[in-house]
Structure 1
Amino acid sequence: MTEKKKPADIPLYSDEDMVEVHADLNHEKHPPTIGFLHAPLVFVFLFGCLIFFCSVQLAETTNKFQLHPPAEKKNQLSPEELVAQKLKRKIDSGEKVFAQNCASCHQLNGEGIPNQFPPLAGSEWVTSDPGLITNIILKGLKGKIIVKGETWGSVPSQAMVAVNINDRQIANVTTYVRQAWGNSASEITEKQVASFRSQSSGQTDQWIGDQLKELFPSGIAD
């Protein structure tokens, strides 16, 4: 009588099945994960590049992450343009000084008042030696002078020191009148004004025209 095998004696897998299972396990180096997809390397590379370029752009737009961004750079100007810009500011300032302190006598157009105050437009006393106009402003002028072929001098001028005009303002206003209304004389600097002030410190009265002509013989022709 044939003896029946018990269920426990019957193997669950055949030898061939066991070989296949072990082969599959050897190929599977990492345990499988649930719900995770392995992205291709090309996508990982592209994503990394995107992050890099975004970081660069963010750094540029935020001044490299500085808490206190530097002040905006001024437009780059040539040395000549910088000089012209500085001179324009000086002339603009001088025009204001002139309007406040000089225009009532010499008029905004620089033509003066007939028989009272001489013109500044085209005046050789304005456009010749810088010492002439500067000393007139510092100390004033009295007596007769000839301006553009006409004799003036019935009303003494006021010394600008009396109205507290400082050296910078004098430099600005003299530069303005030397370049306004068709005049084209050189700029007068604050340093020049200080020098003229020092040289005329002993002058206690208003200047006379002949005195200034002796001090600056190249300024006014007889």
Structure 2
Amino acid sequence: MSAPAHPDSTDLDRLHSAVKREKEDLAPESQPAPLGAIFLLFLVAIIAGSQLGPMTGGWTFEVSNPFSLAKGGDPRPTKEGEGGAADPFAKAMKKGAAGYAVCGGCHQGNGGGLPGQFPPLDGSEYVLGGTERLIRIVQHGLTGPVTVKGQGFNTPGGMQAFGATMSSEDLANVLTFVRNTWSNKGSMITKEMVAKVREEEKRSTQWTAPELEPFAKKDVPGEVPGAAAAPAAK
């Protein structure tokens, strides 16, 4: 004869008792609320809300807006083109400060560079000289020996080009930041100025210091919108 089945697998009463021990029945007062009651509460809330508006003078954005001009003015920044928009120079400086992260590794956060390798930007004649030379350098890079503030530098591999990886606006912001940080004070460089040089410049290799000499004192013409740290380049 075969062995009898295990009593726990056949005794339904025992199985049901085990289930009841694991999960007790809810008391009548703990039962979930009926869906009908929930729907009724939502309906009452909607009707009450629709009546509350007329009773309080009606809802309008101007009345309920916590930033209403009648309450002391709107402190939120406005979009560009609206009244009170941020000054273009201030915006360029702010964005340029973030973009300078790609330069700071070599030229350092204080703009002082590293002796013999990376020339300083603070007080550099390349930074404060002709804007066209400066734009051409960041556009296609610079290689070979260069003299800055009376000291010689020869960066291994040269300075990389950023024209292919940064937009005209990004380059303009970084250059404006560099020309107006530390002890520097120069004119603002706009994206239109950078774009103008890009259109005219037909080059695929890095510049050398002698090649850039004709642009040493040449500024890219263009208007500077809003306030600037110095008069626009002529």
Q: Report the TM-score, using the length of structure 2 for normalisation.
A: 0.57
The aligned residue for residue 159 of structure 2 is 157
The aligned residue for residue 124 of structure 1 is 125
Give deviations 1:94-113, integer Å, cap 9, x for gaps: 010011x1111111111111
Instruction: State the distance in 2 between where 1:84 and 1:148 align.
Output: 35
Aligned residues: 156
One-letter amino acid of the structure 1 residue matched with residue 196 of structure 2? S
One-letter amino acid of the structure 2 residue matched with residue 106 of structure 1? H
One-letter amino acid of the structure 2 residue matched with residue 185 of structure 1? G
One-letter amino acid of the structure 1 residue matched with residue 211 of structure 2? Q
The aligned residue for residue 207 of structure 2 is 207
Instruction: State the distance in 1 between where 2:128 and 2:145 align.
Output: 19
The aligned residue for residue 169 of structure 1 is 170
Kept in 2: contact 1:93–1:172 (CA 8 A): yes
The higher radius of gyration belongs to 1
The aligned residue for residue 181 of structure 2 is 180
SS of residue in 1 equivalent to 2:127: helix
Kept in 2: contact 1:63–1:69 (CA 8 A): no
SS of residue in 2 equivalent to 1:114: coil
Instruction: State the distance in 1 between where 2:207 and 2:195 align.
Output: 18
Kept in 2: contact 1:122–1:182 (CA 8 A): yes
Structure 1 vs Structure 2 CA RMSD:
3.3
Give deviations 1:55-89, integer Å, cap 9, x for gaps: xxx69x967889x99975657xxxxxx69733112
The aligned residue for residue 31 of structure 1 is none
The aligned residue for residue 4 of structure 1 is none
Kept in 2: contact 1:131–1:196 (CA 8 A): yes
SS of residue in 2 equivalent to 1:160: coil
Instruction: State the distance in 2 between where 1:64 and 1:110 align.
Output: 49
SS of residue in 1 equivalent to 2:186: coil
Match status 1:194 vs 2:188: no
Instruction: State the distance in 2 between where 1:174 and 1:167 align.
Output: 11
Equivalent residue in structure 2 for 1:92, among 91, 94, 97: 94
Instruction: State the distance in 2 between where 1:83 and 1:63 align.
Output: 22
The aligned residue for residue 43 of structure 1 is none
Q: For structure 2, which runs of at least 5 residues remain unmatched after alignment?
A: 1-56, 76-83, 220-234
Map of 1:40-59 to 2, 5 A cutoff?
A: none
Q: Report the TM-score, using the length of structure 1 for normalisation.
A: 0.60
SS of residue in 2 equivalent to 1:121: coil
Kept in 2: contact 1:91–1:176 (CA 8 A): yes
SS of residue in 1 equivalent to 2:159: coil
One-letter amino acid of the structure 2 residue matched with residue 190 of structure 1? K
Match status 1:103 vs 2:104: yes
Query: Residues 85 and 157 of structure 1: is their aligned pair in 2 closer, same or farther, counting only changes over 3 Å?
Result: same
SS of residue in 2 equivalent to 1:151: strand
One-letter amino acid of the structure 2 residue matched with residue 92 of structure 1? K
**By percentage of residues, which structure has more helix?**
1
Provide the identity percentage. Answer: 32
Kept in 2: contact 1:94–1:169 (CA 8 A): yes
Q: For structure 1, which runs of at least 5 residues remain unmatched after alignment?
A: 1-57, 76-81
